Amino acid sequence: MKGKIGLEEHFAIEDTIMDSHGFLPEEIWPELKSRLLDVQEKRLGFMDKFDMEMMILSLNAPAIQAIPDTSKADEIARRSNDALAEEVAKRPDRFQGLAALPMQDPELAAAELKRCVNDLGFIGALVNGFSQKDDADSCLYYDLDQYWPFWQVVEELDVPFYLHPRNPLESQSRIYEGHPWLLGPTWAFAQETAVHALRLMCSGLFDKHPKLQIILGHMGEGIPYSLWRIDNRNSWTKAPPKYPAKRLIAEYFQENFYLTTSGNFHTRTLIDAMMEIGADRILFSSDYPFEGVEEAAVWFDAAGISEDDRMKIGRTNSLKLFKLDGA
């Protein structure tokens, strides 16, 4: 289909480019590096060839979240956001931006999000999982009490927040010892991000801030296929859940979350996600340049779904969610 919009599409600046080294075979690194640093040339060529009208761009991972020095994290976040704003300004019809945020400090993160939305014209934020602060072996997850004022700002700005994966820290990865192929997109990304998302849902965050909209990539990081079990474990006992949230996890997932197709180009998986969360809450994405625009577009354009749903997922859901012209 023509006019597709993708919203998990990455770029890098020189300060963050090496964070992507090692995710693909070494012989591919020069091309991956080139694609990450480029915005206006090679990237647009792929978009034009495969009918992707717009990319909503975000910084590579883990980038800001992996900088334990809070002031440095804030500096690099601002630098990357300024660089992205310059690129978007060249072709706002083809590119929009998601803010990188120094989540090490919720007040700094809120201030930078306000700047990006109000001054730079960004349409949301993308954060690469937990943040390290002070100690490189630390993990801050965003259901913690200190982040609730930040979430209030997100709700007030009325912009989506994309929770993007990162690998667990080495000290917390014993289950993967001797099995490095399970790290990254094969499995660890989904496991890490799914737990983080479930923590948000269980915390009661969406009871206090019901308008928040969180985006998960890769068709939901496995959550859609476990929703029934999450809410109905040991169902014969009728025991209530022990988390602070007031409602079923499935209800938050269906009302406060969107999913993207990034890096998960499989029609049966798409149909399962549609049955769990509805076609109105799924968004086309490719995960460029870690995945190819060609692979994403060729699969999606031929996927066995209705043309109405294809248009929603490929374009109009994003127009509405991000309040883009044409919605």
Taking a C-beta distance cutoff of 8 angstroms, is the pair 283, 258 a contact?
A: yes
User: Tokens 């190819």 — which residue?
Assistant: 292
Burial of 37 (C-beta count, 10 Å sphere; 0-12/13-18/19+)? middle
**Catalytic-labelled residue, pool 19, 74, 143, 287:** 287
- DSSP letters spanning 270-289: HHHHHHHH-GGGEE----TT
Task: Please state, in angstroms and rounded to a whole number, the distance separating the CA atoms of residues 244 and 205.
Answer: 9
User: Which amino acid type is present at position 62?
Assistant: P
Q: How far is CA 222 from CA 101, 111, 218, in A?
A: 25, 32, 8
CA angle 264, 268, 272 (to 5 degrees): 95
CA angle 110, 223, 172 (to 5 degrees): 70
For helices 249-256 and 188-202, what crossing angle results, to 10°? 100
Is 287 one of the catalytic residues? yes
3-state secondary structure of 6: strand
User: Tokens 């083809």 — which residue?
Assistant: 94
Task: Please state, in angstroms and rounded to a whole number, the distance separating the CA atoms of residues 181 and 204.
Answer: 35
The catalytic site residues sit at 287
